[in-house]
Every structure is written in structure tokens, then in C-alpha cells.
Amino acid sequence: MKLCLLSLFLIHYSLFTIHSSVAAPAEQQRTTKGSASSTPNVIYILADDLGYGDISCFGQKKLKTPNIDRLATEGIKLTDHYSANTVCTPSRHSLMAGQHAGHCLARGNGNENTLSLLEAMTVLPEVFKAAGYTTGMYGKWGVGVTNDTGRPSPLSHGFDEFSSWKSQSIAHTYYPTSIVRNGKEVALEKDTYIHDLIMNDALAFVEKNAKAGKPFFCYIPTAVPHAAMHAPKALHEKYRKVYPQFDKKIGKYGAGPDEPCPDVKNPIAGYAGMMENLDNQIGQLLELLEKTGQAENTLIMFSSDNGAHLEGGHDPKFWDSNGPLRGHKRDLYEGGIRAPSMACWPGTIKAGTISALPSAHYDILATICDLLEQPVPAQNTGISLLPTLTGKGEQQQREYLYWEHPQSKKRDQAVRIGKWKGVKLGWRVKTPQKLQLFDLEKDLGETKNIAAKYPEIVKRMEQIMVEAHQPLPAKKR
């Protein structure tokens, strides 16, 4: 039974006192171990600055991520899934609002007081709330401050509870002076590794709702592996022994005002430690779902908000973080926007599936609306990926994917049409360059500009760059 029909049925039950044998309460219709449900739990994990080649199943050789890999081997690997932008805030904004970069109100990192989501929008957690879900957010919000109830926060956008840093800039350190839970700032003892507190809160949220049989949406926008390269001390020391040649390298980074951001001796070891820690915690999450009988009733999605970064001593060249891709965070070449992505839903998504469907973060909102049979919000520009995930129904096709960055009149733009990728550089240059065209099937590394050979494709992409870009409001929101 689809969710909207179930909701109407329950309304009639309440209004007209239909006999309980006709329609049981929602809690009784929830899954038991080994059975399916019309209201699956959904967990969305968003890594921060994780490169396309940073996960074992996407080619990483020096570091193993067995638990993250399980999401692909036991579910679907999305080889051509993209972040909505090439930096943090606009990607997160697009994920919540279901908008590509040309319509998104946040198009670059900046003042979090002005880049927050509009309260008038219906965003991702609010879709879940409308379907009767309990909602929680655990990690880096990135689209507004979290400790000011007078301004938009996770609580004003459909989340029932959350644990987070106070702001995106403070999330640059894993040793902040405070944590914000449900809008209330709580001081932390010195040297408290906040990532573990946040993940513990996420696991507690999942366990509480799983045991209660209540459908839940758990959003985990972890800060890993964004700089600084802080890892739990034991894991950091473990990898210092593996990579002692980098002990003379010091990783430096800064956080928000008056927040400690310790230097990192051997940031190579720091990166490895923080990644193993995250992978272990995802393993705990999978074990918890099995233990509570919710594994087959939970859709888990995993992605990254943009490509690998070059900050805080991180060395994506050493780790081969981009694999065959060109570019990094802040680029609109593939290395800046193609994200290692996967989804797992045992019994519903066929294990070992691989999809090369071009898709992006801004498709998640429409996908969830399709899954829960909720109306798609007016601002949405994405498509539902549910047919690709489940193998049922006909997958809607789109003409193009679109990106732009940053929030400036002189901006970089990119378009993908099928196998064709166009990049136009205009940011911080006196004269915008001509559009570069690449054939991703033959040239995934975007090394050969073939624009001169295909003028009609170039012309269409340039038209799209005009059509897809919607000017930002002139007045302060």
C-alpha cells in the first residue's frame, strides 16, 4: 500500500471509526524482521570533501572502507552521481531544496545568516514530516547557524532533533568549545572529539525509533574528511606507524572565531584515522539495523558534498582521491563534482547493481516524494531516481545536468548532456573563456577539448547556461 493511500485510510479510520481489522494503526503496519514495509526508514549520509576515489569500491587502494563498500555490494553503485555544487553550502542547500545551482539561493560559501534556506520552501525533512516520519539531523548543517532560534535552523525546517556544530566555520575543527543539540549550546570539555558525540547521537536516534517501530529519517552530514585532519588519537597513532615518513609534515587549519583548531602532526595519518573511524561507525549503524530488525526496512544512501580538498595538509595526490578525474573541490571539472555514491535497501534494491545514470543531489527530494507519494515542492528541479534504485517502473530521463559557481557575476559553469560535458571558465578572469567540450565516454579525465569538432553541441550548452541560470534576488532575504 502506498503511503498517501495509507495516510488517507488512517484519516478515515480516525474520523469514522472503521473497525481495526480493516486498517491497523501505522505502528502495527511497520516491519518485523524479514518483512517489507510501505514506510521504510531512510538514512542519508553525506560525507564532506570526499573524493571520487576515496572509497575502496570506487578504486581506493591504500585505505580500506569495508563498511561503506557494503552499501554498494549489497545495493547499488551510482557511478555517475554528482554533488549539486563544488563547495559545501550550495551542495547542502540544493540537497534540501531539490534545486540545481542555477536556481539555488546559495551558490557559494559565505555568510550563513544570508545563505540559509527559505522558511517558505518545503524541503526534504518536511516531506518526511508530512508522511508521518520522525526526523533527526546529526552533523554539519551548513545552511545557517544552529544555536539561534530566531533564525532558520534544522528545527525550523522539519527536523525534530539534531546535534551539530554551531556554524559551518566552527565545523572546521573537531575539537570545538561546544556542541549544539536541538538549538541549545552546551559547553564541551577540552579535547572532546565532537564527531564521535554526534555519531553516538545519530545511533541513539536510530535505535530509539527502530525499537519503537516508528518510521524515521536520519540525515548524517558528517564533516569527515573536511580539514582539519583531526582523527581520534588512537587511530591517528596507528597510522603514524604506517606512514612515519610524513611525521615532519604539519597540517594547519583554522576554525570559527575563538575556536581551537590544533595543528596535526602527520596529516596523512590523520586522514586515514578519520576515515577508518567513520567506516567503523557506519559498520555500527548497519549492525544496529540488523539487531533491531530494521535492515530490510531501511533505505541508506551515501554521497559526498563535493570533490577532494587540498587543505589542512591533506594530500589527494598521495591518496589518488580523484582516481581518473580532473580537478578538485572548487572546480567544475569531474573531480570537483562527481561524488562516490551508493544506496542500499536489502530486498528492494538488487545487490551488486551498477547504474551510470547521470544524476545529482538535487534529485533526492523528488526521489523521496516519489517513494512516499508526497507532492513534489514547487521549487524542485530534480527527477525521481526511484525506478533506477528499485528496478521498477520507467526511469524519467533529463536533457541536462547544470552547475555554476560561485555567487558572482563572473562565474564558472558546467553542463552535462548524456556523454557530453561542457565547462566554461569565467570566475576571476577578465574575459570568460570559450566553452570546453569533453566526451566523458572516451575521455573521463577531461584532457581533450573537442569543442571545435561539435559546434552544435557547444551552441546548445551555451543556451542552457543562459536558460538554467536564474539571477539571485537583489534584495536581502
Three-state SS sequence of 235-282: HHHHHHHHCHHHCCCEECCCCCCCCCCCCEECHHHHHHHHHHHHHHHH
Q: Do 80 and 420 touch, CB atoms closer than 8 A?
A: no
Given this model, what pLDDT does residue 13 score? 33
Place of cell 488512517: 10
Q: Of 378, 400, 422, which residue constitutes the final position of a domain? A: 400
- What DSSP letter does each residue of 293-335 carry, written as one string? T-GGGEEEEEEESSS----TT--HHHHTTTTT----TT--SHH
207-216 confidence digits (pLDDT tens): 999 999 999 9
CATH of the domain at 451: 3.30.1120.10
Confidence (pTM): 0.90
Residue 32 lies in a domain: no
SS3 of residue 325 by DSSP:
coil
Q: Give 184's strand partners.
A: 181
Backbone torsions φ then ψ of 328, nearest 5 degrees: -140, -170
Given this model, what pLDDT does residue 475 score? 52
Place of cell 557530453: 420
CA distance 369 to 119: 19
Q: Of 349, 375, 400, which residue constitutes the final position of a domain? A: 400
Residue 477 lies in a domain: no
Residue 22 lies in a domain: no
Residue 15 lies in a domain: no
68-86 confidence digits (pLDDT tens): 999 999 999 999 999 999 9
Give me the residues of the chain with pLDDT under 50, please. Answer: 1-36, 476-477
CATH of the domain at 53: 3.40.720.10
Given this model, what pLDDT does residue 407 score? 54
Angle formed by the axes of helices 88-97 and 364-372, nearest 10°: 20
Rg (CA), the chain: 22
Instruction: Kindly state the cell numbers that stand for 440.
Output: 566523458
Instruction: Kindly state the cell numbers that stand for 253.
Output: 587549519
What domain range is 387 assigned to?
Answer: 3-7+41-400
Cα dist. 239→63, 111, 221 in Å?
11, 36, 25
Number of domains in the chain: 2
Q: Of 400, 434, 455, which residue constitutes the final position of a domain? A: 400
Instruction: Kindly state the cell numbers that stand for 24.
Output: 491497523
Q: Do 339 and 50 touch, CB atoms closer than 8 A?
A: yes
Given this model, what pLDDT does residue 104 score? 87
